[in-house]
């Protein structure tokens, strides 16, 4: 039931914005989504399963936003990495779960599922995926870097240029994370990234 699952995740996310995760009740999540409590348990198995699914969805949503930023920015490599950095800081500012995923800092208000996978007997494919490993901050850096390299390199890019491009992309991601922890002046994230990147980043335009 993909529609019911998304409605339940939306309801859980809304509930989390209003109260600590420890105070979020499964019965209230089901009622807010307009489905039965049994449907909720069929989808997620438990409150811990719901937490893992919610964290997985927010991680996936953040990475999808990275890909949109890389595709939509246009311009040179610096512009596209700056757009990715701006998305990263905006997502972390607006979404407490994304911020926790990026920084590893899970407050008492948030669910804090183990990043290692848990045994899963779920018949729901999406839940089996959620029960698998969740990305650590370092793994997220790598995932963003790899997406940026794929988006910014061309078919003729040499291996040394790919390696240099990967270093440039990782630098941009790590600068974005520093701006999450210590935000620059408004509108300054892009300038921080552009100012720190090599003048002529390796790699070719797609």
Average pLDDT for the chain = 91
Q: What is the pLDDT of residue 199?
A: 65
- What does the alpha-carbon distance between residue 166 and residue 113 come to, in Å, rounded to a whole number? 30
Mean pLDDT of 147-160: 88
- What does the alpha-carbon distance between residue 161 and residue 154 come to, in Å, rounded to a whole number? 10
39 token code pair: 């449907």
118 token code pair: 């848990």
pLDDT digit string, tens, across residues 160-192: 889 999 999 999 999 999 999 998 876 689 889
Q: What is the pLDDT of residue 73?
A: 64
Q: What is the pLDDT of residue 13?
A: 97
Give the count of beta carbons closer than 10 Å to the beta carbon of residue 123. 10
- What does the alpha-carbon distance between residue 24 and residue 18 come to, in Å, rounded to a whole number? 9
Specify the DSSP class assigned to residue 50.
Answer: H
114 token code pair: 């183990």
pLDDT digit string, tens, across residues 21-41: 999 999 999 999 999 999 999
pLDDT digit string, tens, across residues 39-48: 999 999 999 9
Q: What is the pLDDT of residue 201?
A: 44
- What does the alpha-carbon distance between residue 163 and residue 135 come to, in Å, rounded to a whole number? 23
Higher pLDDT, 174 or 2: 174
Q: What is the pLDDT of residue 132?
A: 96
User: Which residues, 6 or more positions from 76, have their beta carbon under 8 angstroms from its beta carbon?
Assistant: 201, 205
Asked whether residue 55 carries a pLDDT value surpassing 60, the answer given is yes
Q: What is the pLDDT of residue 163?
A: 93
Asked whether residue 149 carries a pLDDT value surpassing 90, the answer given is yes
- What does the alpha-carbon distance between residue 139 and residue 40 come to, in Å, rounded to a whole number? 30
3 token code pair: 């529609």
- What does the alpha-carbon distance between residue 28 and residue 18 come to, in Å, rounded to a whole number? 12
Q: What is the pLDDT of residue 202?
A: 44
């Amino acid at each position: 039931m993909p529609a019911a699952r998304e409605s339940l995740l939306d309801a859980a996310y809304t509930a989390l914005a209003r109260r600590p995760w420890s105070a979020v009740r499964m019965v209230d999540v089901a009622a807010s989504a307009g489905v039965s409590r049994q449907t909720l348990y069929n989808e997620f198995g438990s409150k811990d399963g719901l937490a893992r699914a919610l964290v997985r969805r927010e991680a996936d949503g953040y990475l999808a936003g990275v890909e949109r930023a890389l595709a939509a920015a246009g311009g040179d490599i610096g512009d596209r990495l700056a757009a990715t950095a701006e998305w990263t800081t905006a997502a972390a500012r607006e979404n407490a779960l994304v911020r926790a995923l990026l920084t590893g800092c899970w407050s008492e208000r948030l669910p804090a599922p183990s990043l290692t996978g848990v045994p899963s007997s779920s018949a729901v494919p999406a839940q089996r995926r959620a029960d698998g490993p969740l990305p650590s901050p370092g793994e997220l850096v790598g995932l963003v870097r790899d997406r940026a390299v794929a988006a910014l390199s061309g078919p003729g890019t040499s291996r040394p240029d790919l390696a240099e491009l990967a270093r440039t992309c990782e630098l941009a991601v790590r600068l974005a994370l520093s701006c999450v922890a210590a935000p620059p002046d408004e509108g300054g994230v892009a300038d921080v990234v552009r100012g720190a990147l090599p003048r002529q980043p390796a790699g070719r335009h797609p």
